[in-house]
């Protein structure tokens, strides 16, 4: 790491980077976010961080811009960064439709292509948590945030519904790097405190809920995921030539959605995912 810009020693290897990008580019992430109102995470994070005019903001793992577009609408000067360029292109179209401008930059959360202390606020909503080297990610979030600036994250918890969701898909997806901790550890307050250490002057964490709603049945909920959410699309594609495994995945995914449904019997289907909202101030 240089004084002004990160090095590449902790960047994802090219083959891993390509595989991650390919998985998350499958489906239609923008549609997924719109139909399930994933942007509710963005709105909450922007409000919690107090983002507004005159601030320079970086959103890491931005996807289709759930946080970044909301931050731009609040008047901030925003950079959205993600490893999956295809999803950012959808975000660019969405931002244009909503009449806001922001910068979109391809970037690895473990080796961000920005200088030291460039941003007043650095955010990530269910994005940077999926990079395998948690310490490298924490180091980079701190590095690009100015002293006294805010780091805000929304991360799914290890003991909530997201754990059950990913447990269904995991056997049908390529295994993670052997030493990589679970992405859901980012939703554990003690883990986050350890990653940031004494480089933050304060850290507040609170548990919140993301409510995903579809008008119809759990079957329709599953169908939406199978068409739009990259890892789900990848999981089902991996078994399309194996009728028995394909049937098993269909059954397991529907059982998950049915058992987790918190909506009324006649609909809509509602699944409630717990996440940890983290607000940290970089030590000056």
Q: 88, 65 in Cβ contact below 8 A? A: yes
Q: What is the 3-state secondary structure (H, E, C) of 65-105?
A: CCCHHHHHHCCCEEEEEECCHHHHHHHHHHHHHCCCCCEEE
Copy the structure tokens of residue 191: 């883990």
Q: Where are the domains of the chain?
A: 14-211+274-282, 214-260
* Angle at CA of residue 233, ends 272 and 220, nearest 5°: 50
* CA 195 and chain centroid, separation: 18
Condensed to tens digits (0 to 9), the pLDDT of residues 3-46 reads 345 545 689 999 989 999 999 999 999 999 999 999 999 999 99
Which pLDDT score is estimated for 5? Answer: 54
Helix (H, G, I), strand (E, B) or coil at 178: coil
Beta bridge partners of 59: 80, 123
Beta-sheet pairing, 269-282 with 119-125: unpaired
Q: d(Cα 53, Cα 156) in Å, to the nearest integer?
A: 29
Which pLDDT score is estimated for 2? Answer: 35
Copy the structure tokens of residue 162: 């997201």
Query: 184, 170, 169, 162: which is closest to 253 by C-alpha?
Result: 169
Sign of CA dihedral 104, 109, 115, 119: positive
Q: 32, 66 in Cβ contact below 8 A? A: no
Which pLDDT score is estimated for 6? Answer: 52
Beta-sheet pairing, 77-82 with 103-106: parallel
- Which residues of the chain, if any, have pLDDT below 50? 1-4, 7
99: left (phi over 0), alpha (psi -120 to 50) or beta: left
Edge to edge, the sheet with strand 145-156 lists 103-106, 77-82, 56-60, 119-125, 145-156, 269-282, 200-214
Look up the CATH superfamily of 14-211+274-282: Vaccinia Virus protein VP39 (3.40.50.150)
Q: 274, 157 in Cβ contact below 8 A? A: yes
Copy the structure tokens of residue 155: 């991360």
């Amino acid at each position: 790491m240089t004084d002004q810009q990160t090095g590449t020693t902790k960047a994802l290897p090219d083959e891993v980077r390509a595989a991650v990008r390919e998985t998350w580019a499958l489906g239609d992430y923008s549609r997924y976010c719109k139909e399930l109102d994933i942007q509710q995470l963005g709105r909450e994070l922007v409000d919690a961080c107090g983002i507004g005019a005159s601030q320079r903001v970086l959103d890491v793992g931005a996807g289709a811009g759930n946080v970044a577009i909301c931050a731009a609408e609040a008047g901030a000067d925003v950079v959205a960064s993600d490893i999956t360029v295809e999803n950012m292109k959808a975000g660019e179209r969405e931002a244009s439709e909503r009449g806001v401008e922001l910068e979109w930059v391809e970037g690895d959360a473990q080796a961000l292509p920005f200088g030291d202390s460039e941003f007043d606020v650095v955010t990530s909503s269910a994005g940077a948590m999926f990079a395998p080297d948690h310490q490298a990610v924490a180091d980079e979030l701190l590095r690009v945030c100015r002293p006294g600036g805010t780091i805000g994250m929304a991360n799914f918890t290890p003991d909530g519904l997201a754990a059950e969701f990913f447990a269904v898909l995991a056997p049908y997806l390529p295994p993670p790097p052997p030493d990589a901790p679970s992405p859901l550890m980012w939703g554990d307050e003690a883990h986050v405190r350890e990653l940031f250490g004494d480089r933050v002057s304060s850290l507040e964490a609170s548990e919140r809920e993301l409510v995903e709603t579809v008008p119809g049945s759990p079957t329709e909920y599953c169908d939406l995921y199978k068409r739009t959410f990259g890892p789900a699309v990848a999981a089902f594609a991996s078994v399309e030539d194996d009728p028995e495994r394909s049937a098993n995945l269909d059954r397991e995914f529907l059982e998950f959605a049915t058992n987790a449904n918190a909506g009324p019997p006649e609909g809509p289907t509602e699944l409630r995912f717990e996440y940890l909202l983290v607000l940290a101030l970089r030590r000056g």
